[in-house]
Amino acid sequence: MSNQSRVNGFLLLGFSEMQELQIFHIIFFVTVYLVAFIENLLIITVIIYSHQLHTPMYFFLANLSLQDFGSISVTVPKSIANSLMKTQAISYSGCVCQVFFLVFFMVSHFIILGVMAYDRYVAICNPLHYETVMNKKACIQMASSAWIGGLFYSAMHTGTTFTVEFCSNVINQFFCEIPQLLKISCFDSYINEVRVLILGSCFGFVYFFLIAFSYVQIFRAVLRIPSSQGKQKVFSTCLPHFIVLSLFMVSGMFVYLKPTSGSPSAFDILVSMFYCMVPPIMNPVIYSIRNRELKIAFWKLLVNIYPQFLGKTHSSF
């Protein structure tokens, strides 16, 4: 890009004023990353090896876990590495990669959440047509569309961000983030910022209202179920989807829709940590707490593997 000769790298100053907390920062980030890695790996492993979970809902959940792990891997390891090496630098290409892959995983994550809402809508509101509508080919096409949509959206926003020239290389964040990069561009970034916000907001709100409409129809259908056990089963699969979606939307809106301040703010860092680190940790927990099928599949897999580890005979749950 044309401005690469002017700015060869950036400085991430997110934790520069907290030198005395560097050890805590490293321990906290390593713990969060390991917890997110283990949780999402368990979700993916259980779904892959449990044949009873080879259904559309769990197929999309496995994609969601992969996206969660990808999004946290874009930002946290680099921050840990910088703290360990006592540096704040990130290369120009490294910053481009962070922006590209973070937006890619976040947008594909959002699209998959919408696909999961549609899956629950068909399963509950049109159960007789569920197997026809949500067949294997359709599920693969929907998941592929989420990944491809995230790819194109990320390429567009990354290209828009890095075609401008930067008059500073100091980023008041612990990773490369579009709002912070627009603040250090040479010319007035108002037009670019408004373009990013308008396009992202329109896409987000239209898609969110479509998802909300699906949930309104789902909850209306649930209220007509006479059996309390049937209602509980439906809520156990739908409520986690809605909670995860709300968590993702609220944290994302705080970062990309709030006005950017001219001075570094601890609140900006905390909010960015929230939307980058909390969903990858909380999503597996939210989906597991009320999901009996997932818990049974996990214990069944554990019981089947444990005797083999000890050299004993294979047992089943």
Higher pLDDT, 31 or 127: 31
Residue 2: predicted pLDDT: 44
Domain boundaries defined on the chain? 2-309
pLDDT class of 310 with cuts at 50, 70, 90: very low
Residue 59: predicted pLDDT: 93
**Cα–Cα distance, 71 to 93 (Å, whole number):** 18
Query: Kindly report the CA angle at 303 between 46 and 235, in degrees rounded to 5?
Result: 45
Residue 236: predicted pLDDT: 65
**Cα–Cα distance, 38 to 31 (Å, whole number):** 11
Q: Is the pLDDT of residue 140 over 70?
A: yes
**Cα–Cα distance, 16 to 207 (Å, whole number):** 38
Residue 276: predicted pLDDT: 82
Cβ pair 185, 92 in contact under 8 A: no
Q: What is the mean pLDDT of the chain?
A: 79
Mean pLDDT of 104-124: 88
Residue 304: predicted pLDDT: 73
Q: Is the pLDDT of residue 317 over 60?
A: no
3-class SS shares of the chain: helix, strand, coil, % to 5: 80, 5, 20
CATH node for 2-309:
1.20.1070.10
3-state secondary structure of 171: strand
Q: Render pLDDT for 260-298 as a digit per residue (tens, 0 to 9).
A: 555 556 777 777 787 788 888 888 887 776 677 787 888
Mean pLDDT of 291-307: 75
Q: Please tell me the least confidently modeled range out of 205-214, 253-262, 308-317.
A: 308-317
